[in-house]
Structure 1
Amino acid sequence: MGVSGAGKTTLMDVLAGRKTCGYTEGTITISGYPKKQETFARIAGYCEQTDIHSPYVTVYESLQYSAWLRLPPEVDNSTKKMFVEEVMELVELTPLKGALVGLPGVDGLSTEQRKRLTIAVELVANPSIIFMDEPTSGLDARAAAIVMRTVRNTVDTGIRTVVCTIHQPSIDIFDAFDELILLKSGGEEIYVGPLGHQSSDLIEYFEIKDGYNPATWMLDVTSKGQEEALGVKFAEVSKKSELYRKNKESIEAISKPIPGSQDLQFATQYSQSFFTQCIACLWKQHWSCWRNTNYSAIRILFAIFTGLPFGTIFWNVGPVRGTKQNLFDSMGSMYAGVIFLGIQSASSVQPVVGVERTVFYRERAAGMYSAIPYAIGQVLIELPYGFIQTILYGVIVYAMLGFEWTAAKFFWYIFFIYFTLLYVTFYGMMTVAVTPNHNIAAVFSTFFYGLWNLFSGFIIPRIPVWWKWCYYTCPISWTLYGLLGSQFGDIEEKLETGETVAQFIKSYFE
């Protein structure tokens, strides 16, 4: 505990290995051995102040997923299932077993239920120590009491330590804790020791008057203004106290390895194999995408409602190829379809990836998986989306535009549309990965959409030689080349200029 700016969260983040900015010095030991973050992450849990979860999985699936990736591979599935159910009972989530987590403030679980889910997700990993950053933040008195009962139940199992930062607790919540580290502004220690029954040790140390909330009293009396009024520096008083001396002796004793003990170590960085990580990530991405009905509807319905207008606008342009303009009409239909459908797919995937990215940061920091299995899961789950869109759009447009119904030409048309949808969608996902959020990613994406438009070879048929390298690096230009070449590259009919269709196509794209 401590006033704002005392360094409560900073201290806990450093101990937990979650501090990603600034410069940290000093040493941290675990049972006398130097702390290794990769190893420590396997035995520690961390509950962030913001409850970050995938919105389209259920409470049970969230816990199942955490247990799947964080418990040792020696633990069989039946044991994992039993452990998950025990944890749900412990944190009072059993009635919500099948409920979707939902988006905060929109649908799904309440704030207090999300907080309990956050604790449960860490508990199913069976950690030796759990760090919690203000678990009662943003909760009313009743919800805070429920969460703290969950925390107390966790400690009473007798097999793990819970470290919390907490701000202005009530008496009931304060009494749930066993020991206290009280910090003043700047991170100096004021009190480090046991609270005692009903805070008796703390009351004795600070000479708290009867009827006062000990938590409120100690924060008020140790404030900078009160220190100046009393002429006391509590940090200096603490350093001269008997409690401080005992703490020093205790630290020295436990900072040395016990004779015969060994440093904590694991054979691998992650609990599960690379293949299992891939399967688990794909499993969760499957639910996260296909249960998102808005996302699925937009992706699928847009393919239909794009194909139908394009089909009527470019009705039966395929068989008409007597002039260059006829070929440009066909090329326009291909260009418009690729641009509209591709950009829509990229734009619709960005918010979904943005939501899941925050979950990825938490799960990766917990040592659940590496970045590659997560990326593989995201890529693979987009394959069926792209295929469904391609078939719906491709069949509608191909038939209405009157292209030749030969197996080879239809296959190549579907092939180029499919892989174009994929690379544009993956581009949209990539922009989210390299920008702070999906809103900035959407703005960033438009820059390359503009370049692809300019250098696709359709809007500007001839460009200066010093810009030609942009044409060859533009993916849309290769898509148009493939689509036009596969449909008309073997046509020997003569145009009004005397050259054949095949010759014109070849010369145009060279």
Structure 2
Amino acid sequence: MESYSDAIVGVPGEGLNVEQRKRLTIGVELVAKPKLLLFLDEPTSGLDSQTAWSILCLIKKLSKAGQAIMCTIHQPSAMLFSQFDNMLLLKSGGEVVYFGEIGKDAEKLIGYFERNGSLKCSENANPAEWMLEAIGATPGSHPDQDYHQIWLQSPEHAATIAELERLEKDLLTKPELQVENRRSSYASSMWVQYVQVTKRVFQQYWRSPDYIWAKIVLVLTSKLFNGFTFFRASNTLQGMQNQMFAIFMFTASFATLIEQMLPHFVAQRELYEARERPSKTFSWFAFITAQITVEIPWMILTGTFAFFCFYYPIGFQNNAELTHDAHERGFLFWLFTIEFFIFASTLGQACISGLEQQQNAADLAVFLYAFTMIFCGVLVSKDKLPGFWIFMYRVSPFTYWIAGVMNTALGDTPVECSKAELLPFMPFGNVTCGEYMAPYMKVAGGYLVDPTSKVECQFCKMSNTNAYLGSMNALDLTRWQNFGIFWVYNVVNIAMTIFLYWFVRVPKKDGNILLHPARWFSFWKKNENVSSDVLVSKLESDDSA
């Protein structure tokens, strides 16, 4: 079992020697929780004597622990042959020649054949080779009698039949066997499955540095490029616009993050559905929840890198210092950052969970991303959206994410217009600029460079960043409300991932074709020229069969 838990990571069998592969195969069969019998087909084939002995010792240890094992073996050595308790010997044509105990040093087996007229077994002979020669199974040997007929007329055969009849009667009279966790098809609880599968996927990620480094390099390069493109953006009118577009461009890595993740998810799914699900190694729920869980820590790590590469080059910390809440704003901006990365991961998993091809899932995720970004209030403000599409503004997850991030980065800080953005004019009458503009500024806001001047007034139409945020409806909710609402979308993504995988890809016991969309689609593709009525009747007849 230790070999199984270690070797299953990555491609099955890759990097393992022959003995480890044999142990891995046995471990997989044991995890499948065999109720009555573990069947092993030539477990020592292709092994040297020492390795074969090691495998037989493992099998013997399992049998002593109470596991019934049936094993086929081809011409074992005397040492290996001595490890078996009972033997079923067949000759050409599948006819039984002997069935029963082997005995210590094969004394019962040898006694049976010698008693029935076979050649004597010398002290140095290998009983396994001797018995094959006795029944004529080795090249050049010819039996002088029919050992199958001898077996049918032997007292050993009569005793075997009597024992089988006794077992059958006992089985009918005994109460049904009480099995712990009877309703479960798996050897362990759901929690144990989840923990072990999660641990395994963590190991797989750790042993796939190309995926982790690609993710980190993508984040470092894209966020540094974005951050230094708008390096130290000031709170001028153009500076606020630059900060807004920097936040908008922050989400541009969404598609690449998903396309990096999908191949690993598909590879894990193919391995599970081809080998681990049929053998009932663990449940589909443990598989899908482990995939979701393991992505989150890596997204938190890469999101943290993105925060440092983006937040400080642009200078958002300067805005926070002006409002004397640098720690809270920095922490909340970091939370928004990792929240976005987790959203990218969970949305990608939701798209691929119900689809076969990763490219189709990537296209769907990018389409959803583009569709929601169009209506998030940046490209087109809420007030300018056509009436029909206003619902998309409220449904789009990025409406709340961008509003929350912009409020955290820019909110409640003073605006300082550049010289090019100041509006110069002459006041009428013998009044100061402040007295002249007071009624207008009371309604529309803004500030004057020199309110006491009577010669030339220089006016900036905004005095606080909240005026700019208000024009984009970024103040409709508080920062923490936007943060909480965006988390709801992450939870919905996770729920959809689990539901779609169950609905589309998990085999159902119910014969209803509506619960088999993947099978229905495959069946329809093979019969696309058949009418729908005939198609349904064919599929239902297959289910009933």
Residue 257 of structure 1 aligns to a residue in which SS? helix
Letter of the aligned partner of 1:389 in structure 2? T
1:316 is aligned to 232
Residue 505 of structure 1 pairs with residue 469 of structure 2 = yes
From 103, 107, 114, the equivalent of 2:11 is 103
**Map 1:70-469 → 2, pairs under 5 A:** 102-103=10-11, 107-109=14-16, 113-114=20-21, 116-123=23-30, 127-129=34-36, 142=46, 157=63, 160=67, 254=168, 257-267=171-181, 269=184, 271-317=187-233, 319-323=234-238, 326-340=239-253, 342-361=254-273, 362-363=275-276, 369-403=282-316, 404-405=319-320, 406-436=326-356, 438-461=358-381, 462-469=384-391
Task: Determine the C-alpha separation between the residues in 2 that align with 1:476 and 1:180.
Answer: 71
Identity of aligned residues (%): 18
Preserved CA contact (<8 Å) 2:4 2:27: no
Task: Determine the C-alpha separation between the residues in 2 that align with 1:394 and 1:276.
Answer: 35
Task: Determine the C-alpha separation between the residues in 1 that align with 2:351 and 2:40.
Answer: 31
Post-superposition offset of 1:437: 5.0
Preserved CA contact (<8 Å) 1:338 1:417: no
TM-aligned CA distance change 1:365 to 1:499, over 3 Å? farther
Please report the RMSD computed on the Cα atoms of aligned residues, expressed in angstroms.
4.9
Post-superposition offset of 1:281: 3.4
Task: Determine the C-alpha separation between the residues in 2 that align with 1:479 and 1:293.
Answer: 31
Preserved CA contact (<8 Å) 1:135 1:147: no
Q: Give the structure-1-normalised TM-score.
A: 0.56
TM-aligned CA distance change 1:191 to 1:466, over 3 Å? farther
Letter of the aligned partner of 2:11 in structure 1? L
Task: Determine the C-alpha separation between the residues in 1 that align with 2:392 and 2:221.
Answer: 32
Post-superposition offset of 1:397: 1.3
Preserved CA contact (<8 Å) 1:347 1:442: yes
Preserved CA contact (<8 Å) 1:299 1:345: yes
**Map 1:53-72 → 2, pairs under 5 A:** 60=2, 62-63=4-5
Task: Determine the C-alpha separation between the residues in 2 that align with 1:465 and 1:170.
Answer: 79
Preserved CA contact (<8 Å) 1:122 1:130: no
From 463, 480, 483, the equivalent of 2:402 is 480
Post-superposition offset of 1:102: 4.0
Post-superposition offset of 1:401: 0.5
Preserved CA contact (<8 Å) 1:346 1:428: yes
Residue 458 of structure 1 aligns to a residue in which SS? coil
Aligned residues: 366
TM-aligned CA distance change 1:191 to 1:210, over 3 Å? closer
Preserved CA contact (<8 Å) 2:336 2:405: yes
TM-aligned CA distance change 1:380 to 1:464, over 3 Å? same
Preserved CA contact (<8 Å) 2:9 2:203: no
Task: Determine the C-alpha separation between the residues in 2 that align with 1:440 and 1:111.
Answer: 39
Post-superposition offset of 1:280: 2.8
Post-superposition offset of 1:414: 0.9
Preserved CA contact (<8 Å) 1:416 1:483: yes
Letter of the aligned partner of 1:295 in structure 2? Y
Structure 1 unaligned blocks of 5 or more:
1-58, 64-97, 182-189, 203-207, 213-242
Task: Determine the C-alpha separation between the residues in 2 that align with 1:485 and 1:113.
Answer: 57
Task: Determine the C-alpha separation between the residues in 1 that align with 2:262 and 2:87.
Answer: 45
Letter of the aligned partner of 1:122 in structure 2? E
TM-aligned CA distance change 1:103 to 1:370, over 3 Å? closer
Preserved CA contact (<8 Å) 1:194 1:201: no
1:23 is aligned to none
Post-superposition offset of 1:316: 1.8
